[in-house]
Amino acid sequence: MHLYVLIYAIMSKAYLMSGTEYEWMKKIVRRYIFVLLGVAASGLFYTAVSLSQSSIEEMIVVVPHPVLRQQAVPILADDEETVQLLQEMAEYLEDSVLPKGGISLPQVAVAKRGFVAMIDDEAVIMMNPSLVFTGEEVPSLEGCLSIPRTFGYVNRSAAVTIEYHDEDWIRKTLHLEDLEAFIVQHENDHLNGILIIDKLLAEAPERVRDINMPLE
Ligand SMILES: [Zn+2]
């Protein structure tokens, strides 16, 4: 009996609300719902971005970590876990505030033959790569995510042909020049335990790369 009285009271209160009051209330609710949804959505988005950023960022190992000196082993066709990791690394590169050219699996302490390289502004996953050097040797100014605060010139082939498995396990071939050729050579060196500090040129040549040089 009390329940009926209560429902009746609420209903009559709603009926008593004038048309303009009702419209005004609807407008307010609608406005704040969109504000709240917007805040919630952007919060989720930034949390997702910062999680993918920080998890890879925190995984990066620096010298003298022994994994950086290991000979990495080939990735097997059914290694879904490694493909997943490479996809996270690709997101990390693409979302990076500072320009980054590439990142290899040994740099996140996984001694397997795979890396991600920025090609045409896109992070491309390359597994089990093989390189053929097709250009003349030129100096390249490089930095490395695993060697903080060190930049220097190393000799690189000005062009390469690279074969690799993509994330769908399709064998692909790319011909790359200049910066993109340097990036895949730098990352491929990581798979063989070779770092830029092993091959820094004694004298800085005149050829200088862009000031916004990406890290690799
Ligand atoms: Zn590096």
Q: 134 with 163: CB under 8 angstroms?
A: no
pLDDT at 2 over 80: no
CB 140 within 8 A of CB 158: no
Ligand 1: distance of its center to the CA of 171 in Å? 24
CA–CA separation, 20 vs 25, rounded Å?
8
Can you give the pLDDT at residue 1? 46
CA separation, residue 101 to residues 89, 142, 149 (Å): 12, 10, 16
d(CA 92, CA 102): 10
Q: Which residues pair with 160 in a beta bridge?
A: 133, 176
User: pLDDT band for position 29 (50/70/90)?
Assistant: low
High-pLDDT (> 70) share of the chain, %: 74
Antiparallel, parallel or unpaired: β 122-133 and 159-165: antiparallel
Burial of 10 (0-12, 13-18, 19+ CB in 10 A): exposed
pLDDT of the residue at 214: 76
Going by pLDDT thresholds of 50, 70 and 90, the confidence category of residue 73 is very high
Residue 46 has pLDDT above 80, yes or no: no
Q: Which residue among 81, 187, 203, 206 is the active-site one?
A: 187
- Ligand 1 centroid to 80 CA: how many Å? 24
Give the integer Cα–Cα distance in Å for 173 and 124: 12
Rounded to the nearest integer, the mean pLDDT of the chain is 85
**CA separation, residue 178 to residues 43, 141, 182 (Å):** 40, 11, 6
Active site residue 187: yes
* Whole-number pLDDT of residue 194: 98
Report the separation in Å between the CA atom of 159 and the middle of ligand 1, taken as the mean of its atom positions.
19
Looking at per-residue pLDDT, the higher value among 191 and 37 belongs to 191
DSSP codes joined into one string, 125-167: EEEEEEEEE-S-EEEEEEEETTEEEEEEEEEEESEEEEEEE-T
Expressed in angstroms and rounded, the spacing between residue 182 Cα and the centre of ligand 1 is 11
